[in-house]
Structure 1
Amino acid sequence: MKICIISFDFWNYDEHIAAALRSKGVEAYHINIGAYKHKDFSAKITNTFSKVFLKKNIKNEKRQNFILEQLEALGHQDQILIINPELIEEKFHLEIKKFTSRYIAYLYDSLARCPAESILHLFDDIYSFDAQDVAQYGFTKINNYNYLEKVEIEKNPEFDLVYLASYDERLKMLYKITDQLEKMGMTYRYIIVGKKTWKKNLLKLVSFTGKDKSKKYQSRRVNQKNIPQFYTQGKVLLDLVRENQSGLSFRIFEAMALGKKIISDNQSLKNYDFYNPENILILKDDASNLNKAFFETPYEPLPEEIYRKYTLETWVETVFELK
């Protein structure tokens, strides 16, 4: 069997899907359109000029042609999975679909955040992690996955709480939590990634807090291979959901593998079979229920059958109908 995954893999999670398929004897490929780069500096300048003055992103067009070039080399695929298909124009979807017998999509953003309604009719099956979209559009519900092997629980983590995320509206909630932690005398460490982080770094310099190691703002993403190591530094992980999103982030599943408790503002967590108030603290809007006692009790391991339900192995068996 030949399967191809096509995605804009910013955080390098999707390559794990291809690796899991290969472990099952599947001939699997991953086309990461986010890895496409301009051939030279002049091409970059031309694209910048086009975006500013012609309102046309040449790079996006070239990325999509790159997909077709890769598929020409790979040949016909039994299945092609597109992750967040709104990043590809309909005319390219129609060409990609010619290379497969089963064309499927996985939405790990809500349609409210990433509209894709105009192209959904192109797919044989659509999977979504967002419960509201599943209810409204009849998608097949599936969560993100636990891609990590179980690891031994870190006995003496350096910080009480750690957080890694993009620079976005979630910072407002993060600062509420920070205030609460400081009042309780608890330690924390967070890394915020994004192009606009220069603003925060400038403020830190102006306010003479540039040496504050508890907060780090950077434009370059963290290598996905280093994310688990970062999380081992914390006793508890923090998970904050984006606006118009109810699906489960990878943070939930990374916490499972690492044996870490988690604090989240995702109210839907209480509806899942892995929910245990000893392991998961669901925050109120003002974070007023954040308490020191939650940090002082140990993590309670999940039953094996529940743990396996959320592994990547189960995920690929379900999405690609391998059972």
Structure 2
Amino acid sequence: MRISVISYDFWDYDQYIVEALRRKGIDAHHIKITSVTHSGFEERVINAISKTFLNRNLKKEKRKQYVLDSLEKLGHQDQILVLNPDTFDLPTLQKIRENTDVMITYLYDNINRVPVECDKLSLFDTIFSFDDSDIDQYGFKKLTNYIYLPYKPKEQQHPEMDLFYITSYDNRRVALIKRLARKLMKMGMKFQIMIIGKKSWKHQLKNLLVQIPENVFLIFSLKKVSHEQLPQYYMNSKILLDLMREGQYGLSFRIFEAMALEKKVITDNESIKKYDFYNPNNILVLNEDLSNIHASFFETAYEKVPEEIYRTYTLDYWVTHVFKLNIK
């Protein structure tokens, strides 16, 4: 069977899908759009001029052509999974469709936040979504993110931090981080918060940077942290923080990373209570005034998720479900 995954894969999650397929003996390929960049300063300048005066984004055109050229080299595919379908124009999606028997998409964002036109969606045989509101409104099929990290029990870890959080800059998140950090500092918790973004965003937290105690680490970075590095940060903390992005309703990858490493989670996502793995001993859902954060949550041990439930969130289960595979 031949399967291709087409995506930006900005955070390097989608590569795991292809690796899981290959472990099942499938001829799988990842057409990663972000691998196409301008080769130098001259190309960047030309593209800037083209966008300004001709309303043409040459980099986008280059990336579209890369996808189509890649498919031509690979030959006809049995299935193609297109992530980030909003990034393609209709003619490109139609050409992709011509290269496969089955075309699938998984929407990483909800339609309200990242719109996808109906004529584009009509090209897909199956549309998966993690967002309950979109599932109810449009009839998409329910699908969460997946556990891509190898399982590592808490007994094999020796965390030094009480809480860890890494996030891209978001106004809603930063407002909550300020309040939550003050609460944790009063409790004497040792925690680390990493915010990935532009230099100009750092001033948004200036009132929080005054008199930071030694047990608190606020890190600002212009570069994202690689997936190779992330597990080390996670394993060095008892609890992972997960705050919703504005307009987000589904579960982030953080929840599934926490399951793989047997980490407790503090989150503001009320919808997590609907899932079969939810355990109030492991997952604390913040109330509006943060008054339900107590030291006892940090002190009690993590309770293992039953194996039969854990298995349904693994990447192996995910690819079998999405591509309707019968092989083991």
* Pairwise TM-score range, normalised by the shorter structure: over 0.9
Aligned to 1:108: 108
- Residues 145-187 of structure 1: CA distance to partner in whole angstroms, max 9, x if unpaired? 0011111325431211101111112111111111110111111
Q: TM-score, normalised by structure 2?
A: 0.93
Q: Is this contact kept in 2: 1:3–1:26, CA < 8 A?
A: yes
Aligned to 1:231: 234
Q: Is this contact kept in 1: 2:269–2:285, CA < 8 A?
A: yes
Give the gaps of 5 or more residues in structure 2: none
Task: For 2:91 and 2:276, locate their aligned partners in 1 and report how far apart those are by CA, in whole Å.
Answer: 41
Q: TM-score, normalised by structure 1?
A: 0.94
Aligned to 2:57: 57
Amino acid at match of 1:314: Y
Aligned to 2:40: 40
1:16 counterpart = 2:13: no
1:188 counterpart = 2:199: no
Give the gaps of 5 or more residues in structure 1: none
* Cα deviation, residue 100, structure 1: 0.4
Amino acid at match of 2:125: D
Q: Is this contact kept in 2: 1:36–1:63, CA < 8 A?
A: yes
Q: Is this contact kept in 2: 1:237–1:260, CA < 8 A?
A: yes
Q: Is this contact kept in 1: 2:178–2:205, CA < 8 A?
A: no
Q: Is this contact kept in 1: 2:157–2:235, CA < 8 A?
A: no
How is 1:242-281 mapped onto 2 (pairs within 5 angstroms)?
A: 242-281=245-284
Task: For 1:82 and 1:308, locate their aligned partners in 2 and report how far apart those are by CA, in whole Å.
Answer: 25
Identity percentage of aligned residues: 49
- Distance of aligned partners of 1:203 and 1:134 in 2 relative to their CA distance in 1, 3 Å threshold: closer
- Distance of aligned partners of 1:163 and 1:37 in 2 relative to their CA distance in 1, 3 Å threshold: same
Amino acid at match of 1:144: N
Task: For 1:296 and 1:42, locate their aligned partners in 2 and report how far apart those are by CA, in whole Å.
Answer: 57
- Distance of aligned partners of 1:203 and 1:135 in 2 relative to their CA distance in 1, 3 Å threshold: closer
- Distance of aligned partners of 1:55 and 1:285 in 2 relative to their CA distance in 1, 3 Å threshold: farther
Task: For 1:203 and 1:278, locate their aligned partners in 2 and report how far apart those are by CA, in whole Å.
Answer: 31
Task: For 1:249 and 1:138, locate their aligned partners in 2 and report how far apart those are by CA, in whole Å.
Answer: 21
Q: Is this contact kept in 1: 2:157–2:236, CA < 8 A?
A: no
Matched position secondary structure for 1:225: coil
How is 1:1-323 mapped onto 2 (pairs within 5 angstroms)?
A: 1-118=1-118, 119-153=120-154, 155-169=157-171, 170-194=173-197, 196-200=198-202, 214-323=217-326
- Once structures 1 and 2 are overlaid, which stretch shifts more, 284-293 or 254-263? 284-293
Matched position secondary structure for 1:56: coil
RMSD, aligned CA: 2.0
